[in-house]
């Protein structure tokens, strides 16, 4: 399999349909796209092997689960060599839902979800800021998430 698999219009249509509903049966996709179910299966497997399709998931509403506070925290490390150990410690915190190794002012940028401002304060003071490798942090609280989408194939 080539390192960069070139998708065509059928692959794009398959990806768009599965991104809208990952539980769509191959037979249903085949009907919608006027091809055989076998063709859908082969195309999906090729895209999996190429690393284009990495899994299927269910999206849940953090707000409906009681997580009302979303924030982003820029982290400045004491030293670049501290990245692996700091990342391991951040990964152990269930409130940290995303992490990015970045260029610019911050070494790491994380997304944190908490149930309340009090819970966020607890996470900041007693968890994140106690990590020895962290020199300083800056917290940005999200007021809303008006745009949330994935890449369109």
pLDDT at 58: 84
* Residue at 153 is within a domain: no
Whether residue 79 is found in the same domain as residue 38: no
120 with 69: CB under 8 angstroms? yes
* Residue at 152 is within a domain: no
DSSP output for 54-79: --------TGGGT--EEEEEEEEES-
Residue 149 has pLDDT above 90, yes or no: no
pTM exceeds 0.85 for this model: no
For residue range 28-81, what is the model confidence (pLDDT) as tens digits? 999 999 999 999 999 999 999 999 999 988 888 999 999 999 999 999 999 999
Closest CA to 83 of 112, 107, 109: 107
Structural domain total, the chain: 2
DSSP symbol at 152? P
Domain hosting residue 103, numbered range:
63-142
Over residues 79-91, the mean pLDDT reads 97
Whether residue 82 is found in the same domain as residue 102: yes
33 with 40: CB under 8 angstroms? yes
CATH of the domain at 15: 1.10.10.10
Last residue of some domain: 9, 30, 59?
A: 59
Residue 136 has pLDDT above 90, yes or no: yes
Residue 116 has pLDDT above 80, yes or no: yes
Whether residue 36 is found in the same domain as residue 77: no
Residue 2 has pLDDT above 80, yes or no: no
Whether residue 44 is found in the same domain as residue 88: no
């Amino acid at each position: 399999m080539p390192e960069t698999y070139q998708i065509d219009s059928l692959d794009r249509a398959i990806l768009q349909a599965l991104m809208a509903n990952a539980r769509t049966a191959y037979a249903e996709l085949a009907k919608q796209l006027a091809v055989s179910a076998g063709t859908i299966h082969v195309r999906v497997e090729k895209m999996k092997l190429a690393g284009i399709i990495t899994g299927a998931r269910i999206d849940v509403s953090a707000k409906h689960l009681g997580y009302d506070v979303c924030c982003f925290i820029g982290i400045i490390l004491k030293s670049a060599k501290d990245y692996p150990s700091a990342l391991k410690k951040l990964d152990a915190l269930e409130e940290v839902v995303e992490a990015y190794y970045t260029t610019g002012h911050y070494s790491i940028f994380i997304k944190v979800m908490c149930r309340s401002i009090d819970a966020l304060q607890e996470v900041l003071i007693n968890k994140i800021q106690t990590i020895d490798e962290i020199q300083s942090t800056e917290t940005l609280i999200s007021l809303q998430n008006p745009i949330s989408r994935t890449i369109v194939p």
